[in-house]
Chain A
């Protein structure tokens, strides 16, 4: 009998890794030669990719469909503002602290919402987001229902901003944008790498088993609740980080902006569905499609959103695997393969047994 080995990497995926590294190096250097408006678009892309990867980890791999990820965007943003205003922390320290605190908060929140399953889980996550929105509207030190801005002193005080300002010979606001841009880029690379490694790990295998059949997974010893909670917490961590960075870049937060179901759930779902749910490539492609559509059509107000909704429904009904899913099925190409293949250790011709 021939021996087999379980593999995930392919030749294409090794090339893709090299190509990704080149793209990341290019993006790191981009503030040198790209205009400011373009780096601001790229910053938005990085943050949307982080949120989309997080939602995709839940929906595409763990089978948990959340319509309440705005909970963690808003909490991440408010954590940053609380740290920067109430505790007078350096904003970058506040971003890190906020991400850690919100990730810890996600454990009890996850334990609560995971008491519901399927479609019920989805609506409960939405209720939790509403509760957070109402509670933070009561926090008068952070502006109550109308929200608040980051004080000017919090924006330009860091030594990093001064250093970047000197190196690039730009004023503090532009230096600050460059720093947020880099952090967002690093966050995106880290989240994609984390999701990729996670899905190739034991946890990834357990999540795929749960998604494909809970009863079967449980019967072979997968602890369903625990694995779901871990996935939920990791997704919350990524989403909170992206939320904190978004509102750091924005400089202003309000309960309605932080906990917007349209901005942080509807758009993210659109991105993942269009790009290809259950793949790592899909959220990246979906984000690019979304940003292009937005820059060409967003002047049309409601019509733009009607189009997004109709496109999302059409893709769900006609090609539920999205752009990357269709492309990958046609060509067999996977840039970030997570599926395990069995391949013989030695070529079959050299096998001694018949």
Chain B
């Protein structure tokens, strides 16, 4: 029973990693940018909600609702003011600028909030759980996974069923052609980053209610997100969800063997994937 339990808990953890990952995958898909500050933006989102809920006394879910449009605007502004200036350069400038942003965010948060570990509170819901056949399902992990599925479904519908999604995909395919069609890619990129920040905020909410976070938590969130994207194979939100689940299971199994091996097991599965199938496990199957 314990192995089944480990796999189920790992799957639910994978929902959180998928939430981290889809925001990163979206940005890479649309503008071929690997945002090295992605994890730090997640932590920033969590601190924004923490500030709203402690300073004004709002319940965490209300803080999330208020933070969403704010974070969309922040993502839009970061893209318009900074990242759009980097995109004419192929690799070096965008990577190093997002790396610089990562340093600035970490230390800005450190200056404002100190290095203490924080948590978003959901009251009694945090510890609530169902028991089924000897396996305990936490309400928050179940909710995280359900939201991850909804977010992936929502992004897929947005990309493949709406006019905005068509523009995003076209911009991803060929910049010169969308420009001929009268699309300003800079605006498209800003909207894409805004959407990514909405997903970032949702993932920050669940990160914050599930575990402690502090200003230095960003880089490991980036690595989890990146590993989920690569394991799942590039180019599909559903693949990213599966990648997140595989990463979550790997970490849960590693942690069950020895708590010190939780992260290590995830990293090793990721390295095994790039050694054996560098295009990801789902490469070739187009969704």
Residues of A bordering B, CB below 8 Å:
59, 63, 65, 67, 112, 115-116, 118-120, 122-124, 126-128, 130-131, 134-135, 137-138, 261-262, 266, 269, 273, 277, 301-303, 305-306, 308-310, 312-313, 316-317, 320
Q: Are B34 and A63 in contact (CB under 8 A)?
A: no
Q: Are A67 and B99 in contact (CB under 8 A)?
A: yes
Nearest CB in chain A: distance from B66 CB, A: 26
Q: Are A119 and B34 in contact (CB under 8 A)?
A: yes
B91 contacts which chain A residues (CB < 8 A)?
63, 65, 118-119
Q: Are B36 and A65 in contact (CB under 8 A)?
A: no
B211 contacts which chain A residues (CB < 8 A)?
none
Does B100 make an interface contact (CB < 8 A)? yes
B267 contacts which chain A residues (CB < 8 A)?
127, 130-131, 134
Q: Are A122 and B36 in contact (CB under 8 A)?
A: yes
Q: A261-B219, A309-B101, A309-B104 are in contact. Are A122 and B264 (CB under 8 A)?
A: no
Nearest CB in chain A: distance from B283 CB, A: 13
Q: Are B274 and A112 in contact (CB under 8 A)?
A: yes
B97 contacts which chain A residues (CB < 8 A)?
313, 316-317
Q: Are A317 and B93 in contact (CB under 8 A)?
A: yes
A119 contacts which chain B residues (CB < 8 A)?
28, 33-34, 91, 94-95
Q: A122-B34, A306-B108 are in contact. Are A116 and B278 (CB under 8 A)?
A: yes
A304's nearest neighbour on chain B, judged by CB, is B107
Q: Could you tell me the distance between the alpha carbons of A118 and B263 in the complex, rounded to whole angstroms? A: 25
15 contacts between A and B (CB under 8 A): A67-B95, A112-B271, A112-B275, A120-B230, A124-B274, A128-B271, A130-B267, A131-B271, A266-B103, A277-B92, A302-B107, A313-B82, A313-B104, A317-B85, A317-B86
With A116-B278, A312-B96 known, 18 other A-B pairs at CB within 8 A are: A112-B275, A115-B275, A116-B230, A116-B274, A118-B90, A122-B36, A122-B95, A127-B226, A131-B264, A131-B268, A134-B263, A138-B260, A262-B103, A273-B96, A305-B107, A309-B101, A309-B103, A316-B100
Q: A127-B223, A138-B260, A305-B107 are in contact. Are A65 and B95 (CB under 8 A)?
A: yes
5 cross-chain pairs, A with B, having the tightest CB-CB distances, nearest first:
A119-B34, A309-B103, A302-B107, A309-B104, A313-B100
Nearest CB in chain A: distance from B43 CB, A: 14
A135's nearest neighbour on chain B, judged by CB, is B264
Does B214 make an interface contact (CB < 8 A)? no
Size category of the B interface is 35 or more
B227's nearest neighbour on chain A, judged by CB, is A127
Q: Are A302 and B110 in contact (CB under 8 A)?
A: yes
B260 contacts which chain A residues (CB < 8 A)?
134, 137-138
B96's nearest neighbour on chain A, judged by CB, is A316
B271 contacts which chain A residues (CB < 8 A)?
112, 124, 127-128, 131
Contact of A266 among B99, B111, B223 (CB under 8 A): B99
Q: Are A115 and B99 in contact (CB under 8 A)?
A: no
Does B282 make an interface contact (CB < 8 A)? no
A313 contacts which chain B residues (CB < 8 A)?
82, 96-97, 100-101, 104
Residues of B bordering A, CB below 8 Å:
28, 33-34, 36, 82, 85-86, 89-97, 99-104, 106-108, 110-111, 219-220, 222-223, 226-227, 230, 260, 263-264, 267-268, 270-271, 274-275, 278
A305's nearest neighbour on chain B, judged by CB, is B107
Q: Could you tell me the distance between the alpha carbons of A302 and B36 in the complex, rounded to whole angstroms? A: 19
Q: Could you tell me the distance between the alpha carbons of A116 and B227 in the complex, rounded to whole angstroms? A: 12
Q: Could you tell me the distance between the alpha carbons of A67 and B104 in the complex, rounded to whole angstroms? A: 16
B111 contacts which chain A residues (CB < 8 A)?
301-303, 306
Nearest CB in chain A: distance from B135 CB, A: 29
A65's nearest neighbour on chain B, judged by CB, is B95
Q: Could you tell me the distance between the alpha carbons of A313 and B97 in the complex, rounded to whole angstroms? A: 5
Q: Are B263 and A126 in contact (CB under 8 A)?
A: no
B104 contacts which chain A residues (CB < 8 A)?
305-306, 309-310, 313
B82 contacts which chain A residues (CB < 8 A)?
313, 317
Q: A63-B91, A309-B107, A313-B101 are in contact. Are A120 and B275 (CB under 8 A)?
A: no
A112 contacts which chain B residues (CB < 8 A)?
271, 274-275
Q: Are A320 and B103 in contact (CB under 8 A)?
A: no
Contact of A115 among B102, B108, B278 (CB under 8 A): B278
Nearest CB in chain A: distance from B17 CB, A: 14
B36 contacts which chain A residues (CB < 8 A)?
67, 122-123
B262's nearest neighbour on chain A, judged by CB, is A134
